[in-house]
Amino acid sequence: MSRTTRIERYRNIGIMAHIDAGKTTLTERILFFTGRIHAMGEVHDGATEMDWMPQEKQRGITITSAATTASWKPMRGPFAGTAHRINILDTPGHVDFTIEVERSLRVLDGAVAVFDASQGVEPQSETVWHQADRHGVPRIAFLNKMDKVGADFAMCVRSIQQRLDANPVPVQLPIGAGPEFRGLVDLPRMRALFFDEETGVPTEGEIPAELLAEAEALRLRLIEACAEVDGTVMRKYVEGRLADLTEEELERALRMGTLQRRLVPVLCGAAFKNKGVQMLLDGIVNYLPAPSDLPAVEGETPDTRVRVTRPANAEEPLCAIVFKLMHDKAVGSIVFLRVYSGTLRTGMAVLNTRQQRRERVGRLMFMHANKREEVDEVHAGDICAALNLKGVRTGDTLCAPEAPVVLESLHCPEPVIQLAIEARSRADQQKMEDGLARLASEDPSLHVEVDPETGQRLLSGMGELHLEIIVDRLRTEYGVEARVGQPKVAWRETLLQKVRQEYRHVRQTGGPGQYAHVVLEVAPAPRGSGLVFVDDTHGGVIPKELVPAIE
Ligand code: GDP
């Protein structure tokens, strides 16, 4: 058992995926296997543990990045037998909620990218993958739905390499695919694991003879990838001493390569059938970074704007970022915090540098899947919820008053859709104002202004679905019935200009040929699928995901 400090035993991770790849099912299975929930609800029947808001349950999509704390003792690898805390930040798969993805990417340290093994890389996976690249987030890949007809491990690995320009390194090989999927070869150990159909419990066995050659070829590829990032592996590789390579050496090199973002370990399974989830949990602990593996967070002093760095250490002065606000009827406002340095205690005075206010910290808690655990203090590396903090907005920094710092806030893409709304009655007017003010404090991608001509409120947001949910929340949470106008493209001209520039670039560099035409029009897509662009020769529509870098 390795000796590690508390912060080295944290993993703050996100699970990112194209919608329908199985992220919700996987998250729920992770919570089940980490012992936090004991009955697995079917996804989309309203019983899923991660999805909180009624809209999420009705629509069967995950909108908010709920943070959930779980605990896992890896069964294999360098950290075997040591309990680790895994904080899971849920990232939505729907394009309209890119701001939610941004906000969790801002505070997580590593991510699991989930793919549908029968589809490979899909357009939204590309969008989220590139966002994660921008934030420098180390990743592992999980090829889910290996039990589905058409599941193709090799095709997925190729598509990650080609479409995402990544360096995928399989650390497992599936045994069978589709209905025949029954286990995995663990490549660093060269052992087979067969899953119990009912419980998913793996038992070790011999690698089936017909897979041996393929497993050996993949293991060699794994060793080569490890050699590129680790001197010890390289030495043994060039000296031809492959038999001397230990499992620990390979695991250490895989971890280093992942942290340096030079490779992406690829694992697989079928969340729905409970297959491969425990190995993925081992992979999360073994390959993804602890907060202490990452560079110290940077910020600046509020007045003099001098750059400061704060290492992830509980003894440093406190600094934390507010990455999410939620409102709960029973407890009031819940502020989700990522603590980067120092220690935060209940009753302590903190400075909100962005709002220039001092606050006293009320209750602190960890949110588990099915309970809230109240604690007296939280430390560098923790993700927690604070109650009764007033006047806080998403993106604010909280710090020790004697060591003030402002951390970089959340990157907010420009809104793309605008909607005019007005309260149906005068009585509802004030309620609507209050509701909108609160919703805008929770969601930095929602902009509210007054139309100078009509006096109506203009809401701008990330897509039709985003604004529909805002209107829905006004009704369900604030009891406001609003009249809603037709959605329009916000700042249409700016957008058009950007898209045209981008297309010119695509044309010059010989990018995706069939779309490389001049964009003539930009319009809201039917039912919340973002924007469509009409081009000159096709006269058709181009889905927003295929137009790079318009944010
Ligand atoms: P999300 O949109 O990414 O959160 O995906 P969900 O978890 O909601 O899953 C989408 C659909 O795929 C649901 O019908 C799931 O039951 C199904 N699904 C999830 N995991 C698996 C799997 O491992 N195998 C198969 N065959 N289906 C799965």
pLDDT in tens, 494-531: 666 666 665 554 444 444 444 444 555 556 555 444 55
The pTM assigned to this predicted structure is 0.80
Residue with CA closest to ligand 1 atom 2: 20
Stated length of the chain: 551
The identity of residue 163, as a single letter, is R
The full DSSP string for 155-194 is HHHHHHHHHH---EEESEEEES-GGG--EEEETTTTEEEE
Residue with CA closest to ligand 1 atom 22: 145
> How far, in whole angstroms, is CA 78 from its chain's centroid?
25
Characterize 16-55 residue by residue with b for buried, 16 or more Cβ atoms within 10 angstroms of its Cβ, and e for exposed.
bbbbbbbbbbbbbbbbbbbebbeebeebeeeebbbbbbeb
Please name which of 516, 515, 458 lies closest in space to residue 491, comparing C-alpha atoms.
458
pLDDT in tens, 477-492: 889 998 998 887 765 5
Phi, psi of 166 (to 5 degrees): -110, 175
Kindly give the distance from the C-alpha atom of residue 114 to the centroid of ligand 1, in angstroms, as a whole number: 11
For residues 443 and 396, what is the distance between their CA atoms, to the nearest angstrom?
12
For residues 220 and 324, what is the distance between their CA atoms, to the nearest angstrom?
44
**Residue 155 buriedness (CB in 10 A; 0-12 / 13-18 / 19+):** middle
Q: So what's the ipTM on this one? A: 0.99
Kindly give the distance from the C-alpha atom of residue 468 to the centroid of ligand 1, in angstroms, as a whole number: 25
The identity of residue 327, as a single letter, is H
Identify which has the larger pLDDT, 362 or 67: 362
If pLDDT is split at 50, 70 and 90, which confidence band does 339 have? very high
Phi, psi of 502 (to 5 degrees): -60, -40
If pLDDT is split at 50, 70 and 90, which confidence band does 32 have? confident
Mutate which of 43, 94, 181 for ligand 1? The one with the most ligand atoms within 8 Å of its CB, which is 43
pLDDT in tens, 428-467: 899 999 999 988 888 888 889 888 888 889 998 877 888 8
- Contact 442 CB / ligand 1 (< 6 Å): no
User: What number of helices (H) and strands (E) belong to the chain?
Assistant: 12, 32
Residue with CA closest to ligand 1 atom 17: 22
- Contact 93 CB / ligand 1 (< 6 Å): yes
Torsion angle in degrees (nearest 10) through CA of 381, 386, 391, 393: 40
Considering only 29-33, 345-349, 516-520, which range has the smallest mean pLDDT?
A: 516-520
Identify which has the larger pLDDT, 398 or 524: 398
For residues 535 and 69, what is the distance between their CA atoms, to the nearest angstrom?
47
